[in-house]
Amino acid sequence: MTYLRALGRACALAALAVVSWFDVLVELIAFALLCVGLVFFLGPAIEWARHRSATARTLAARWCGIEVEAPYRPEPPEPVRERDGWYRDGNTLYKRAFWIRWNRRFTWAMEDPAAGREFGWQVLNPLVTLVLPVAVLLGGPVVLRGYGRWTRWWLGPRPAPVPGQGRWLHRRLESLGHQMGILALAVVMFVFSLWQLVVIAFAMPVAAPVILWSRSITDTLRREAGNWTGVRIARPYLPPPGLPVPRADGLFQVGKQLYDEPFWPVQHARTRWVLRDRATWRDLAGGALITLVSLLLVVPSVALVGRGVVGLFTLWAWRPFVSSPVTWWPFPEVSTHVGALPQTAVALALIVAGLAPATWLVGQQARFARVWLGPTDATRLAQRVERLKQTRTDVTVTQAAELRRIERDLHDGIQSRLVAMGMKLGAVEALVDTDPAAAKRLAAELRAASSEALTELRVLIRGIHPPVLSERGLLDAVRAMALDSPLKAQVTGSLPGRVEEPVEACAYFAVSELLGNAAKHGAGRASIEVAFADEQLTVTVTDDGPGGAVPARGSGLRGIERRLGGFDGRLTLTSPIGGPTRATVEIPCQLDPEPSSPKTNTSSETA
């Protein structure tokens, strides 16, 4: 009776698994619609397929005895209407919350690692369940428990991956998926490249906005190639033109034509800027070349792995099912298990041969993409000049604001106390001969006031430049800050010596702001990693908060960017909805040849 019940459950699981191929078809159709600009279908298709996965987790617990928790990140929060009635997303305002809600849910569904594993399960699970009833007949209910573990491995939560670690098969399968992902993005980019060429040829007035919008697809390829392979591809585009300046008579000139309003001069300038940028044409050429190279690198791997999987399926799933000899070209017919063993070895060898170079091949795909989609030396120089212009203004404004703050603190705090102390000293002089007891009381008050003034002055000095930073260096100063933080903070890393003092102060206050933001938004833990390599100080702060941080929404992150701008530094923020938030501060600098205090030690510590 137990065997019959287990067999019935195995058949039901196989039927449910076959239905998941319909989910795959729906998702592929939605992805194809995304490629042609219909973006509203892929997110709902992924969420709709999750109902099937939820059913599989429930059945794994009920029939297989294996509890499988949902692996998804927390859902994004609902948009909040501001006081003026608008909904804000970055620097864009919306009258209704539909677009912000859809965009957040789409990002939440697409960037969740569980979505990729779920799609792989939808593809592979039906193949496994085809042999599940036969396996249950041979092994009984124990096989169902093994299938429950298989389901949990695919559809259950997993710990955060550690870079450079993982099983050989998992890493190669992941790399093969990344190969196909880069190929898919390259195909989408190629399709939109053709569309841009048509627009340039027949609809020049709208060429600039179409090209600028299409750059988001290229940016996606750059970003994902970096996330998947570690090959970073910077944006190569020239800085946008400034607003047109009117002549003395108030008109705007473009060549030999004068305009009363700046609209057409702005359009002309944007069109020239886009079409004269070499990166625009390199993007168009890269769409075709990256697709071609990706095909050449992906097809052999996919063919070998696919051929091996087909062989295994033919030998061990299809042959027992049809109970007759099967042929797996170009090998002879097989009718017994013993005869299938040699061909099984060949099938496994094909799979290994296809997976072995996958990691190296996906790296080559990303490097080739960097050749066409990365900046040239001329673009880097133009971007650096523009960045220096912007940071020079930011530094000036920041310094002026800091001086005003210090002046205000001194004027409203220390100066007021010193004035009051001076008046009390005058009273002491007047009372010392006539009323010594009152003079002593005023002297005691003066002593307490001087102590308070000294404490306030120390706090002000600590806000300008913390003493622990001068005495112990950046690493120990960050450790002291972590001990005072309400978060459970872990500080790791090492420094070969003292970096320049202004850089230390910049990095220290950046970490202070990041920890404060993390605590304010509900994080409980944080990790801080400090490193120095290739004449660049790197500080990475990661917290387990709810995510969704955007520099444009808060003055704190913008303040960090302005502070870093004075040192040509950068803030890189990764904060998906649901967390974690990872902020990386990079500051080009050199080691201080004559540090004012001993070198920081290189040990790690938990605060």
* Nearest residue to 234 via CA among 221, 249, 250: 221
Indicate the range of 8-12, 25-29, 364-368, 415-419 predicted with least confidence.
415-419
**Sequence-separated (6 or more) residues with CB below 8 Å from residue 2:** 140, 141
Residue 425 and residue 175: Cα distance in Å, rounded?
Answer: 78
Query: 462: helix, coil or strand?
Result: helix
% of the chain exceeding 70 in pLDDT? 87
Tens of pLDDT along 429-465? 777 777 777 877 777 877 777 777 777 776 666 656 6
Q: Which amino acid is at 280?
A: T
H or E, element range at 208: helix 207-229
Contact predicate 142/10, CB 8 Å? no
Return the bridge partners of 438, or none. none
User: Cα-atom radius of gyration of the chain, to the nearest Å?
Assistant: 32
Looking at residue 393, the DSSP 8-state letter turns out to be H
CA distances in angstroms from 72 to 27, 106, 110, 178, listed in the order given: 18, 13, 11, 21
* Nearest residue to 132 via CA among 237, 8, 240: 8
pLDDT higher than 90, residue 282:
yes
Tens of pLDDT along 142-174? 888 899 998 998 899 877 555 445 577 878 888
Residue 396 and residue 390: Cα distance in Å, rounded?
Answer: 10
Output the pLDDT for position 383: 67
CA distances in angstroms from 370 to 84, 289, 303, 376, listed in the order given: 44, 12, 26, 10
pLDDT higher than 60, residue 605:
no
Structure tokens at 497: 């010596």
Average pLDDT over the chain reads 82
CA distances in angstroms from 555 to 164, 514, 549, 564, 600, listed in the order given: 36, 12, 12, 14, 32
**Sequence-separated (6 or more) residues with CB below 8 Å from residue 371:** none
Return the bridge partners of 93, or none. 88
* Burial classification of residue 182, based on how many CB atoms lie within 10 Å of its CB (0-12 exposed, 13-18 middle, 19 or more buried): buried
Output the pLDDT for position 287: 92
* Nearest residue to 236 via CA among 287, 283, 173, 204: 283
**Sequence-separated (6 or more) residues with CB below 8 Å from residue 595:** 473, 497, 498
Residue 68 and residue 70: Cα distance in Å, rounded?
Answer: 7
pLDDT higher than 50, residue 40:
yes
Q: How confident is the model at residue 597 (pLDDT cuts 50, 70, 90)?
A: very low
Tens of pLDDT along 297-318? 999 999 998 888 888 888 877 7
More confident residue, 102 or 387: 102
Q: Which of 3-7, 56-60, 427-431, 471-475 has the highest mean pLDDT?
A: 56-60
Beta strands in 210-304 (DSSP E): 252-254, 257-259
% of the chain exceeding 90 in pLDDT? 17
Structure tokens at 313: 């399926």
Tens of pLDDT along 548-570? 777 655 557 777 887 787 777 88
Return the bridge partners of 326, or none. 334
Residue 427 and residue 420: Cα distance in Å, rounded?
Answer: 11
Residue 344 and residue 475: Cα distance in Å, rounded?
Answer: 56
Residue 110 and residue 408: Cα distance in Å, rounded?
Answer: 48
Indicate the range of 122-131, 382-391, 420-429 predicted with least confidence.
382-391
**Sequence-separated (6 or more) residues with CB below 8 Å from residue 202:** none
H or E, element range at 390: helix 377-409
CA distances in angstroms from 493 to 164, 353, 478, 602, listed in the order given: 18, 39, 11, 7
Question: Considering the entire predicted model, what is its pTM?
Answer: 0.59
